[in-house]
Structure 1
Amino acid sequence: MKHDAFFRKHPVFTGKELAGHLSSLGEVRGRTQESLLAYHRKAGRVVLVRRGLYAVIPPGADPGSYPIDPFLVAAKLTPDAVLSHYTALEFHGKAYSVHTHFVYSASRPLGSLNFRAYVFRGARFPQALLRFGKENFGVSAAERSGQELRVTTLERTLVDVLDRPDLSGSWEEIWRSLESVEFFDLDKVVEYALLLGNATTGAKVGFFLDQHRETLMVDDRHLNMLHDMRPRQPHYLNRSKRKSGRLVSEWNLVVPSIVLERAWGEVP
């Protein structure tokens, strides 16, 4: 009973968090933590997500079917995990569709994890951020079910999903999700794109902002800074999937027609 308060406040918890709780009660003897976890797992109160990570099951609920919050799982897979890419769009309520794949960024992400119907995939922080110690640029603290987690801001997320479309669904999902955001701090968007220093990513961000110049109130100065970093030779919008498209010479990007024309919005 004396551990119920911890379980209520930590629907998903790490072994380190449990150890801190036990230490606060003066329970630091030998195998106290292992015994406690074994007892509650046998009683159906706790389920193992992966080594060192657990989820709480309320009394009377079915351990096999009780829903576990995947955002909390993703946020606790590593000590420095940050919800990012399409998962950040979902967390902010801006995703066009619901995914069962959850993405987090970290300095040393784990391998892909399957838990129930979910797949969790880690992405390493961009090299430029690690080089300059800027991993937390555009990262904000948020609360979910009483627990604090970290998530990329909409400004960083805009750049991240264009930088790594392989982590963010189809172009329609990316475009429609970003178009649902009414306001971006464009100074922060450009600052982050420049920090990454990737010419192709800068051009993709510039192309998106150029295409939404009126709705997002984009200034020429924002576009000019991104224009200066565009690649010298034409690059594909998604270099890993080189689909045919049209060259947008302004940004040296080969853009699929469906993106250029936003053809998914057409009514047959």
Structure 2
Amino acid sequence: MLEYYEKLLQIKCFSFYDAVKILGDKQKTRNILYMLKKKGLLQSIRRNYYVVISLETKEPVASPFEIASAITADSYISHHSALEFYGLTNQVFSDVFVSTERVFREFDFDGRWYRCIENTRKFGIVQQKRIKVTDLERTILDSIKDFDKIGGLEELLRCLEMITVINEDILIAYLGKYHNQFLSQKAGYLLSFFPRIKLSSSFFSFCKANMGNSSRYLYHDLKDEKNMFVKEWNLCVPENILQLINEGGEAFV
């Protein structure tokens, strides 16, 4: 049995069908997985998805990011979870944001909730060992695009404040791939507050050229809050946004 354990330990977390490829036919695999679970060497993450348990620590050997990267064939971590992976967050969320073309039922495991984000974009995904994650440029744009659903404006501003180096050419190329006027509008406005990122005037000119002529709220619920209009970007923004930025995300009182 230890021989099978060591084979599965190499891949850390896997589907039933991944195990079949390693262990043999389906019935043999079912028997082996059953015995490993009984001995406490394997744990079910969800139906037909497993993680190996360490002999030393009795904990899962796979990190939440490794688990997320193997949920589906094309899954990868994104948004706030990608910022967390890069060490650019002030807090660790219990949610793990997982982008994939193949929608899965969300689930919790070992104190983390794995949230599915249906996404068909295939660019800006990198692999580091067993972890698939959006690169920093795409992570920034995804986080700006969806901040009202994932993390909120204050957390986004705190994360952006920690970024110092990005590739402007890649950021512009990705922004063009979204074909999203509102994203260009939000990205140009919000990134203008962070000179440490060292974006040139070319980036902001690109955003303005691609944001269209519509006036929009920075996020949907803002229409019910105190707001002000920024003519340069045709955006209604929170009245206290400068306070949020200048005080590192501390709420305005």
TM above 0.5: yes
Instruction: Please give the secondary structure, in 2, of the residue aligned with 1:255.
Output: strand
In structure 2, the residue matched to 1:83 is: 77
| Segment of structure 1 superposing worse, 169-178 or 240-249 | 240-249
Q: Aligned partners of 1:59 and 1:229: how far apart in 2?
A: 55
Match of 1:2 in 2: 3
Q: Deviations over 1:236-255 (max 9, x none)?
A: 11225544321111111111
Q: Which residue of 1 aligns with 2:22?
A: 21
**Secondary structure at 1:35 match in 2:** helix
Q: 2:201 aligns with which of 195, 199, 220?
A: 220
Matched with 2:219 is 238
2:12 and 2:61 in contact (8 A); partners too: no
Q: Deviations over 1:66-109 (max 9, x none)?
A: 68621122111111001100000011111121111000111122
Q: How many residues align?
A: 248
- Map 1:201-216 → 2, pairs under 5 A: 201-212=183-194, 214-216=195-197
CA contact (8 A) 1:46 1:54 kept: yes
Is the alpha carbon distance of 1:257 and 1:97 closer, same or farther for their aligned partners in structure 2, counting shifts above 3 Å?
farther
Is contact 1:244-1:254 (8 Å) kept?
no
TM-fit CA distance, 1:42: 1.2
Deviation at 1:16, TM superposition (A): 2.8
Number of the residue aligned with 1:140: 126
1:42 aligns with 2:38: yes
The question of 1:54 aligning with 2:50 is answered yes
Deviates more, 1:36-45 or 1:241-250: 241-250
What is the CA-CA distance between 1:200 and the residue it aligns to? 1.0
**Contact 1:159–1:205 (CA under 8 A) maintained in structure 2:** yes
Structure 1 match to 2:102: 108
Give, in whole Å, the separation in 2 of the partners of 1:263 and 1:179.
10
Unaligned runs of 5+ in 1: none
- Contact kept, 8 Å, 1:237 with 1:255, in 2: the verdict is yes
What is the deviation of 1:191?
1.5
1:219 shift after superposition: 1.5
Counterparts of 2:116 and 2:246 in 1: how far apart (Å)?
A: 32
Q: Which residue of 1 aligns with 2:162?
A: 180
- TM-superposition CA deviations, 1:134-183 (whole Å, max 9, x none): x321111112xxxx221001100100001111443121211111221111
- Give the distance between the partners of 2:52 and 2:4, measured in 1 at CA: 12
Shift in CA distance, 66/234, structure 1 to aligned 2, threshold 3 Å: same
Cα 1:166–1:113 change in 2 (3 A) is farther
Partner letter of residue 16 of structure 1?
Y
73, 88, 91: which one aligns with 1:94: 88
In structure 2, what is the equivalent of residue 164 of structure 1?
A: 146
Alignment partners' CA distance in 1, 2:47 and 2:28: 17
Using structure 1 for the length normalisation, give the TM-score.
0.84
**Residue type at the aligned position of 1:220:** S
- Normalised to the residue count of structure 2, the TM-score between the two structures is 0.89
1:2 alignment partner, SS class? helix
User: Structure 1's 167 and 10: CA in aligned 2 closer, same or farther, altered over 3 A?
Assistant: farther
Aligned residue number for residue 31 of structure 1: 27
> Could you say which residue in structure 1 is the equivalent of 2:210?
229
**Pick aligned residue for 1:192 from 170, 174, 181:** 174
Task: Give the letter for the 1:59 counterpart.
Answer: L
Q: Give the CA RMSD over aligned residues.
A: 2.2
